[in-house]
Amino acid sequence: MDRCVLQHRLFGIMGEPMFRRSETDGTPVMVVLLGERIAAIPLRSLQHEFGIEDASDDGRMLGLIAESLDYVTGLRIGDPLPQEVLTGNASWEPDQIHRQIADARLRLQLVRWLGAGAGAETPNLDAETLARVADDPALRQQVHDALARAAEMLGLEDAEQVVALIEDLAYELAFIEALRHRLLRRVKMMVEKLERLTRAFRGDSSHMETLTQVQRLSGVALRQISVRFDELDAQTGEVLAALRNADSQRAFIRSNRDWLYRAQRAWEPILSAWDRADGTIDDGLFALLARSYRFLAPRFMPVTEWISTTKPKPRRKDKQPARMIW
């Protein structure tokens, strides 16, 4: 089933219910109009109240709806489900520039691989170098040589087959480049603005405390998000291994793509506000700091785990690392 379809008679008498996440805690809810009032009913409570089993058709659909709300703002009955939950593909597209950057990054990684084997100097993978791959004759020749050597190492007939593998992998990585621009870059800009504000602020201690907390928490957030991109870059940096194991690489990239996309959707209102912030210290800034703190604290505030003295300690192998869920 590729659309939001529910069979229980409850959904037929509720008018046009909307499924979305709760504004308070992010719980998947069904929003309906009851007289002149709007009611938001958690999906799990709805299932329990009306005896909708998880294994039933409606139960499975409600599970898909809840999962879909990571990728779309809301769903109505009859709406198509996002591709992420149906096929693993993304329901959005990166810009053309992000495809070009991903393709250039892979080609230059091949050049670095070939150069490392020959002891030659290899290009950096900075934005300027990536942008000029297509226009630099020397780089183009290095890429041509690297493609030919990669075809030999991969047991392929010619460089064109390597190009096809690169294009497929670059398409997956273009989403990562888009999120590097839309999420990581903007969180860095927010952190930089907060650092400048902290140095310039001469106001009262209460506002200074909020500013300091937001700066600290945003720094924690930036480090966590950066780790995702570092892991992706490291995993795909071994370009020959990535091309040789395309299926496992695709699964790894898509898993991180979806996590980063959920994060970007959650961050978007805050980042948009900070994009517009011009550094003026006024009531608007204080309101933005308070809003930012409310967003950051439940996600990035250090938590102390209390363990009962009467409860057996968990075995070491059972302990799971903390993980951010968006």
Amino acid at 304: T
**Residue 231 and residue 276 in one domain:** yes
Do residue 114 and residue 208 come from a single domain? no
In the prediction, which pLDDT does 133 show? 64
Q: Could you give the C-alpha distances from 147 to 102, 108, 143, 243, in angstroms and in order?
A: 16, 10, 6, 12
In a shared domain, residues 218 and 146: no
Q: Does any domain span residue 308?
A: no
Does residue 224 sit within a domain? yes
Does residue 313 form part of some domain?
Answer: no
| pLDDT above 60 for 173 | yes
Do 133 and 203 lie in a common domain? Answer: no
Instruction: State whether 240 and 271 are in the same domain.
Output: yes
Res 142: pLDDT: 87
Instruction: Report whether pLDDT(323) > 80.
Output: no
pLDDT of 306 strictly over 50: no
| 173 domain residue, yes or no | no
| pLDDT tens readout for residues 211-232 | 999 999 999 999 999 999 999 9
Q: Are 218 and 283 in the same domain?
A: yes
Query: Could you tell me the residue range of the domain that residue 199 belongs to?
Result: 184-300
Contact 84, 90 (CB under 8 A): yes
Residue 177: inside a domain, yes or no?
A: no
Mean pLDDT score of the chain, rounded to an integer?
Answer: 87
Looking at residue 91, its amino acid is S
| Residue 183 in this model has a pLDDT that exceeds 90 | yes
- How many domains, in total, are found in the chain? 3
* Percent residues over pLDDT 70 in the chain: 87
Answer whether residue 315 shows pLDDT above 90. no
pLDDT exceeds 50 at position 305:
no
% of the chain at pLDDT higher than 90: 67
Strand partners, 80: 3
Give whole-number Cα distances, 210 to 175, 177, 194, 288, 294, in Å. Answer: 34, 33, 11, 11, 11
Residues 80-125 pLDDT 10s? 999 999 999 999 999 999 999 999 899 989 988 887 654 445 555 6
Q: What is the pLDDT of residue 320?
A: 46
Are 62 and 47 in contact by the 8 Å Cβ rule? The answer is yes
**What does the pLDDT read at residue 54?**
94
Sequence-separated (6 or more) residues with CB below 8 Å from residue 218 = 187, 190, 191, 194, 292, 296
Looking at residue 123, what is its pLDDT? 56
Do 249 and 267 sit in the same domain of this protein?
Answer: yes
- Say whether both 156 and 196 belong to one domain: no
Give the per-residue pLDDT at 326: 58
Q: For residue 169, what pLDDT is reported?
A: 96
Tell me the pLDDT band of 161, cut-offs 50, 70 and 90: very high
pLDDT tens string 225-251: 999 999 999 988 889 999 999 999 999
